[in-house]
Structure 1
Amino acid sequence: MLSLKIPGCKNLRVNKIVFDLNGTLACDGSLIKGVKKGINDLAKNFEIYILTADTFGTAAELLKDLKAELVIIDTDNGSRFKADFVENLGRKSVIAVGNGNNDAQMLKNAELGIAVLGPEGAAREAFLGAAMLCHKINDVFEILAHPRRLKATLRK
């Protein structure tokens, strides 16, 4: 659970994190270095969900050592699925992290949306839907491990 008062912005009380897989946690079919440790460290304080269409059927194997729930997107409208998933978890208790066009509404719906630039780049719509932008996924892990950084970035 993360509880943090951000002056002029909001009071965060979140206990769930939803991650996009491809482009956010993985690149070219492999986890980005540091992701396994980052996710497993966060899992000590948060419920973790990883969303993917799993086009190649490899996500379960890729994520087998992560303390996270794999959620397969079983529709052609990934954007709507992700946005609805955050809503169904209880949007006020969710941090969402992604980089693609299909992540934009999920990032906007979450209490805290974080767009990640990452090795694949990021869609402009993801930036616009997020409250915060990070250069790479490992920056997200560091920020959530040191929540005062959120306060410094988001306060008004």
Structure 2
Amino acid sequence: MFDLNGTLAVDGLVSDNIKELLNELGKTYKLVVLTADTYGTLEKEFKGLPIAVDRIKNEIEKVNAAEKYSPYIGIGNGNNDCMMLEKSELGILIIGEEGASTNALLKSDIVINNIKDAINLLLNEKRIIATLRK
């Protein structure tokens, strides 16, 4: 379960490198993007990729949409991702170029510098085990 802006995209655009990684990740996981689509780029950016997209208006709609796919891994960076991160089986916060909200940080299980590293974490699940081991 991905947020779009600040998580997968910067200014509404997803890099080709990230699209390639999402294509690979889609072989193992069902991928869903939940977004208000601030920049209006949603369909264009994910055309041809194995990703379901769902437009939402606010945090309540986002968590309700996410729960349709429960259990899920939530990946986001902003205040409107807090409930999604908190209710997920695994909440991953992306700091990224837009930064991350402190509220979202406190609701997440793992903090990652960028989306590329987060996707690679999911592609190599032993990294998750190593990070969360007590």
Q: Using structure 2 for the length normalisation, give the TM-score.
A: 0.93
**What is the match of residue 128 of structure 2?**
150
**What is the match of residue 6 of structure 1?**
none
Any stretches of 5+ residues in structure 2 without a counterpart? none
Alignment RMSD (CA, Å): 1.3
1:130 aligns with 2:108: yes
Q: Structure 1: which amino acid aligns with 2:9?
A: A
Q: Structure 1: which amino acid aligns with 2:64?
A: D
Q: Using structure 1 for the length normalisation, give the TM-score.
A: 0.81
| Structure 1 segment 37-52 matched on structure 2, within 5 A | 37-52=20-35
Secondary structure of the equivalent of 1:34? helix
**What is the match of residue 3 of structure 1?**
none
Secondary structure of the equivalent of 2:40? coil
Out of 91, 112, 117, the position equivalent to 1:113 is 91
What is the Cα deviation at residue 145 of structure 1?
1.2
Any stretches of 5+ residues in structure 1 without a counterpart? 1-17
| Structure 1 segment 1-150 matched on structure 2, within 5 A | 18-73=1-56, 75=57, 78-90=58-70, 93-150=71-128
Distance 1:148 1:96 in 2: 18
CA contact (8 A) 1:116 1:122 kept: yes
Q: Greater share of strand residues, 1 or 2?
A: 1
- Single out whichever of 50-59 and 130-139 deviates more from structure 2: 50-59
